[in-house]
Structure 1
Amino acid sequence: MRLCLCLVLISASPALANDGFGGLSATGLTFGQTEAVAMEEERLFIGIDRVTVDYVFRNTTGRDVTGEVIFPLPPIGVWAGYEGMMNLPEDLSQPDLVGFTATVDGQPVAVAIDRIAVVQENWESATPAEQYDTPGREVTADLERLGIPLALDWVALRELLLSFPEEKRNEVAALGLAEYYEGDAAQDIPPDVWGAWSIVTRYHWTQTFRAGKELRIGHSYTNRPPGGLFYWSEPPEDYQQALVDQYCIDAATSRAMAKALESPGGDEYGNYGTAFYLSYVLRTANSWAGPIGRFSLTLDKGDPGNVISLCAEGVRKTGPTTFVIEKTDYTPGRDLEVLVVQPMPKE
């Protein structure tokens, strides 16, 4: 049975683009020694502007295990800023895009940040889970050899690629890193280039799990989901059926969304609002040994003017603004996808 909630979430929305803005799906921690370390507990909090996770791990073996704990962001296309507004910091030169922090047994831990470059075919049609499972063909070494920085400033990268001599341009194109366009002088269209690679940012640190011992790890970061201008009709139109299926929008939630977005006064916004598409890749938990012993997900609703829809079972209201999903011996079979609809602000 699929349960669709009509909740609300607190929101700090970025400025609207004409149609939509890109963002990031959220993932969990991964670790190489999956046969030795079990995830006994995961407590996950998700809001539009914040994600917080607390874990309890246990080394189930008789020996210490040391390895890298890794939190990866999904790939960000280097030309994404050209395609439309991104829900990212204005300063893309900084290495930390989400303000990631981590603790081990309650104490802050130093987190290293690195970036790799990948080329992923069929990027636009890939789901968040597919983007995580197969981030693409790594091209970091190719970029470094060609003198192309691991940056997200598409304006500077465009100028750099256009400055390359013909032989180097041909190599860039042959590697699938970019497409060059000759332009049309007669139509006053200058030459141009389109970068095809993406940047994956990874947060990680070396961690020792003591033999037979419990270890508590927590991490928190700014949530930067995609979204944009949103319209909803009741009953849903044919083209909206994909959203109905993806987010389990039942009749009651559909009516709530339409009501939240209606503008009886016929103001300049019409029946529009903002949508946020929150994703969380739960299946990274399957990289640890066995199922999650105890799992809980908390959604904080906040402003009663917003409406949220998702596919879930066993949802329990725990307070005026919180809803909780709890599982025991949980092996996630699908990732979490949440639609949050926010009315236009009223002056």
Structure 2
Amino acid sequence: MALLLAGPALANDGFGGFTATGLTFGQTDKVAMETEDLMISPDRISVDYTFRNLTDQDVTGEVIFPLPPIPMGDLINGMWNLPEDTLRENLMDFKAVVDGAPVALQIDRLAVILPEAWWELTPSQQYDTPGQDVTALLAEHGLAVSLDGERAWEEIQALSPASRDALLAAGVIGDYDDTEGFDLYPNWSVVLRYHWTQTFKAGAVTKVHHDYENRPTGGVFGWEHPPEQDYLKDIARTYCIDEGTSTAIAKALARPDASEGAWGMAYQIDYVLRTANSWAGPIQRFTLTLDKGDPANVISLCAEGVKKTGPTTFTVEKTDFTPDQDLKILLVQPAGE
């Protein structure tokens, strides 16, 4: 299973976005991930794998790639890094290719009630337990499972008294002021799941490619060098911002008028690597390629062996790699004039 998770904004003037991860096939000791080539750019993420079936029998199962729960309340009350057309079925333009042939994807759309303080759960906990499935309950009362916040609001206000009371009791909707139904809001989140049935032939290598739009958390971002404020020190620790990178960020974000400070945009690009540990053994060869998109942008992450390979690209290569931590990447972008 792979999952994109909601992450916190880096600034008050920010928008919610997604954490990304790779494919898993359930915990297995029968199929090994021999190679993984991961490419992360500001706009898109792509992954190429080679898997080997270690047994003399075919192994078949479901490969799943779900988006994280997207809270409907957030879509109404805040900003979220979603496509302009939130009604398109393939929301993240997810594509999969196996041994050179495009995969016919199935896409499920679910409504869930998230557990309390779900944002405090680890990424693996979030995608293992996305919440209580209330899809059928919404359908029973005529509510659509869509990412149209205005539509959800209007449908809730039009509920019959009986449906309103039933959904309030179930926690599917909430009432801001405990009034008579005039301040109702959606309390559910939407989960989209891409999946297909995959067979790994006995003793054979299977090549899998998938790619999708990168829509991380981000927002207006200010910086000072050296960082003195506690929240900036936390960012520096989280993304391993050293002296040279701190200087580069301050320079990139500097405004023509020094009194304006150093500010621009920042994107928090997270990628969960540890799902690779569900396959048999370590990854024999792992390559990460980062593209910061523009030479003026600045990128920082906690990783050993980062090599600059071009004006905007960097690589990290590992052999016999067992991920013990996930990627957290800070991409800083100067503000437009």
- Asked whether the two chains share a fold, i.e. TM above 0.5, the reply is yes
The residue number in structure 1 matching 2:160 is 165
User: Does residue 304 of structure 2 align to residue 313 of structure 1?
Assistant: yes
Q: State TM-score, norm by structure 2.
A: 0.89
User: Does residue 239 of structure 2 align to residue 244 of structure 1?
Assistant: no
The residue number in structure 2 matching 1:12 is none
The residue number in structure 1 matching 2:317 is 326
Structure 2 CA distance for partners of 1:76 and 1:340, relative to 1, 3 Å: same
Alpha-carbon distance, 1:317 to partner: 2.5
Alpha-carbon distance, 1:64 to partner: 0.7
User: Does residue 48 of structure 2 align to residue 54 of structure 1?
Assistant: yes
* Structure-to-structure mapping, 1:84-233, within 5 angstroms: 84-120=78-114, 121-126=116-121, 128-182=123-177, 191-233=182-224
Query: Secondary structure of 2:190's partner?
Result: strand
Q: How many percent identity over aligned positions?
A: 56
The residue number in structure 1 matching 2:245 is 253
- The letter for the 2-side match of 1:250 is D
1:19 counterpart (13, 22, 31): 13
Per-residue CA distance 1:197-252 (angstroms, 9 max, x = gap): 21111111111111010000001111111101111112221222221221112222
RMSD of Structure 2 on Structure 1 (CA): 2.2
Alpha-carbon distance, 1:183 to partner: 7.7
- In structure 2, what is the Cα distance between the partners aligned to 1:247 and 1:130? 23
Per-residue CA distance 1:95-146 (angstroms, 9 max, x = gap): 1111111111112121111122222221344454443243222222322333
Give unpaired runs (5+ residues) of structure 2: 1-10
Per-residue CA distance 1:158-193 (angstroms, 9 max, x = gap): 1111222333222212222221134889xxxx9222
Does 46-55 or 160-169 show the bigger shift?
160-169
Query: Secondary structure of 1:30's partner?
Result: coil
Alpha-carbon distance, 1:316 to partner: 2.1
Alpha-carbon distance, 1:80 to partner: 2.1
Query: Secondary structure of 1:305's partner?
Result: coil
- In structure 1, what is the Cα distance between the partners aligned to 2:311 and 2:197? 40
Q: State TM-score, norm by structure 1.
A: 0.87
- The letter for the 2-side match of 1:251 is E
- In structure 1, what is the Cα distance between the partners aligned to 2:191 and 2:206? 28
Structure 2 CA distance for partners of 1:114 and 1:47, relative to 1, 3 Å: same
Query: Secondary structure of 2:18's partner?
Result: coil
- In structure 2, what is the Cα distance between the partners aligned to 1:219 and 1:169? 42
Per-residue CA distance 1:73-96 (angstroms, 9 max, x = gap): 222111222232222112211111
- The letter for the 2-side match of 1:59 is N
Q: Is the 8 A contact 2:42 2:291 kept in 1?
A: no
Q: Is the 8 A contact 1:25 1:73 kept in 2?
A: no
Query: Secondary structure of 1:114's partner?
Result: strand
Query: Secondary structure of 2:17's partner?
Result: coil
The residue number in structure 1 matching 2:62 is 68
2:254 counterpart (242, 257, 262): 262
1:78 counterpart (55, 60, 72): 72
Alpha-carbon distance, 1:277 to partner: 0.7
Query: Secondary structure of 1:24's partner?
Result: strand
- In structure 1, what is the Cα distance between the partners aligned to 2:127 and 2:272? 8
The residue number in structure 1 matching 2:37 is 43
Per-residue CA distance 1:291-326 (angstroms, 9 max, x = gap): 222111001234221111111112123334321111
- The letter for the 1-side match of 2:32 is A
- In structure 2, what is the Cα distance between the partners aligned to 1:270 and 1:191? 45
- The letter for the 2-side match of 1:333 is D
Give unpaired runs (5+ residues) of structure 1: 1-16
- In structure 2, what is the Cα distance between the partners aligned to 1:275 and 1:242? 15
